[in-house]
Structure formats: C-alpha cells, structure tokens
Amino acid sequence: MLDTVGLGVRVGGLRIGGLLERGWSVYTRTSLDGGDVWASTEAGGVRLSYGAGFAWLAAEASLPPLMGIPNSELLDLAQCREAVKMMRGVAEAAVGAELPSLDDWRASRFDVVWSWACEPSLYLGALVGARLPRTEPVRYGSSVLWKTRGGRTRARLYDKAEEVGAVVGLPHRLERQVRRREVVKVDGVKVGRAVGDVLSEKVCFGVLRDSLADLGLDRPIPSVGQTRSLLVNALGARAGRNSWSLLHYLIESGGVWPSDVSEWTRRKCEREWRAVGVSAVSAVGELPPLTLPERASSEGSEAQETERAERV
C-alpha cells in the first residue's frame, strides 16, 4: 500500500561534530539567505539527514526492502506501520540519542501504490488524454509518468515486471507520490501530515481512488469505435468527427501530437475529451476498469484503525 515514505521531526541537542564522529557526511547548503550546515548518512536502508540550523532530522526509506520483502510485493497497512517504527529505530541508533515518539514526526513524502494482475501494455497504450491536475504526461519505456512543471513526478503507471526484470504476480502498478507542499484532500477533507494521517486506510485508498478517477481508469475504457460515437453524440457530427480524427492520430502515433497543433488547441481538445468521459482509449476493444478493494467504512472498523494508529 505504501512504498517510499519520508518523515521528519525536530530534534534539539544534536551536535554536527558528534554526527561526524559517528560516520555521517557533513556539508553546507547555501542559498540567497545564507548557508546551513547539514549532515547525512544511510543506515539499515534508511536515508538520514540533519539540518543544524533548524534542528530538523529527516528520514526516508522504501518500506518493502526495510521489511525484507521484495519491492514488487505490496505491504498491508500493518506491515507499513511496522516499517515506519523500524525507520524511527534506525534513526535513533544512527544519531545515538533518544528521538521523539512517532506522534511528533511529520510526513514529507508518501508514495501510495497498488497493483493489478492485468496486462500493463494494454492500459499504458490506452492513455491518450489522461492527466492529473497541473501535470504533463511523459512516456518512458514501459511506464507513463505525470510530472509537474518543476519536473517532480506526481504519479506513474508502469509495468513492474519489466522494471525488475522478473515475473511478477501483479505487474500493472500505479504509484501516486505525495510530496510536502502538495495539498491532498480525501472526501473533501485536507489530509494532515502526521504519521497517523499517512498510515490510514481511508487516506491511502482515497488518494488512489481519486487518481484513478482523474486518469479515467476507474471506469470501462472505451474502444476506438465507442469513442467516436461518444464524441459525435456530445459535440455534434462535424466537430465530433474532427475531434475523433485527432484522437485517432494520437492513438496511432503512440501519444505524439502533430507538430502543427498548438498548445491551446491541445488543451482545448483534452478538456473536451475529459468532459465527454474520454481520457483513455483502447485500441483492442473495451477494457475493464482498474478497481480497488472496498474500504471498510463501519464505525467499528474506523475505531479499530484509529486505535492501531495511536499505538504506532
């Protein structure tokens, strides 16, 4: 459910000299406002850094390897909680001092992942007009990445078997990367950055479900013929046929737009397609939607989840 997780906490009393003696690397970060001394190291699969100027300790790790589990497998929520506890333990041993409890730590990054047993290439090839808000799709090998203007990856849909070079039971994977400055809402409520907020079934499945909806993968993916009918019925015969011709060109070219199509026209077409419900188009007939398990929503289940999170 979670892959890479980044956490941070304010820790006073740590000396850069002491960290240097423990094998940490020390360097200076400079900016227009001046410089700050940092120390960094890697221990037990956890990447650690400490900023002396504001006494901030940061830890980041991929959770499956931390638990001794192949990265191609999904962790359940209990395993994710155990891995986060291990991150704190590794950090505490690396700094040689007692650290605050996990209640005081804040998440700077959490990558929510889910996998399916279907053939990845069918869905990757269908992603024509699909995008997440304020991102651009970038095709790279057997994956599609959605990047912000700053170049940060916000999500990727890819073939895990191709990535690891081995047979994988659930090869088709969606990874949604949530970073520090991104505002994320689930059911209309802003997600906090406490550890308990991140280690929540509601939050994890909510982020994944919203991402699938934005990409148009939470509903049946229409075939080329079905898409033509949708556009003609919604836009009219002439505009619908013209729009479909451009969409068909994209399908045939693997998502590459014609060089004479302006950015304005591209955005306009993509908005029209999404409004009609066309974000993905299958060249091999209608594809079934990518579904997620139904999250337990009873008060009893929520209470148990809250209780477990409080024990973390």
pLDDT, tens digit, for every residue of 260-278? 889 888 888 888 888 888 8
pLDDT exceeds cutoff 90 at 100: yes
Contacts of 151 (CB under 8 A, 6+ apart): none
pLDDT tens per residue across span 172-197: 999 999 998 888 899 889 999 999 99
pLDDT tens per residue across span 279-290: 888 888 899 999
**Can you spell out the DSSP letters for 66-100?**
HTT--TTSPP-HHHHHHHHHHHHHHHHHHHTS---
**pLDDT confidence bin for 305, thresholds 50/70/90:** very low
> What is the pLDDT, as a whole number, of residue 299?
35
> What is the pLDDT, as a whole number, of residue 301?
43
Over the chain, what is the mean pLDDT?
A: 88
Cβ-contact 97, 11 below 8 angstroms? yes
Residues 117-130: what's their mean pLDDT? 88
CA 296/CA 279 separation, integer angstroms: 29
> What is the pLDDT, as a whole number, of residue 80?
95
> What is the pLDDT, as a whole number, of residue 311?
43
pLDDT tens per residue across span 213-259: 999 899 999 888 898 898 999 999 999 999 889 888 888 887 788 88
Residues 31-55: what's their mean pLDDT? 88
Where in 56-182 does DSSP place strands (E)?
56-62, 106-116, 136-140, 143-147, 153-159, 172-179
pLDDT exceeds cutoff 80 at 132: yes
**Residue 278, token pair as written in the block:** 């066309």
**Residue 248, token pair as written in the block:** 């068909």
**Residue 6, token pair as written in the block:** 């980044």
pLDDT tens per residue across span 56-80: 999 999 999 999 999 889 999 999 9
Contacts of 199 (CB under 8 A, 6+ apart): 2, 77, 80, 81, 84, 309, 312
**pLDDT confidence bin for 157, thresholds 50/70/90:** very high
CA 156/CA 31 separation, integer angstroms: 32
> What is the pLDDT, as a whole number, of residue 133?
85
CA 69/CA 57 separation, integer angstroms: 26
pLDDT exceeds cutoff 50 at 298: no
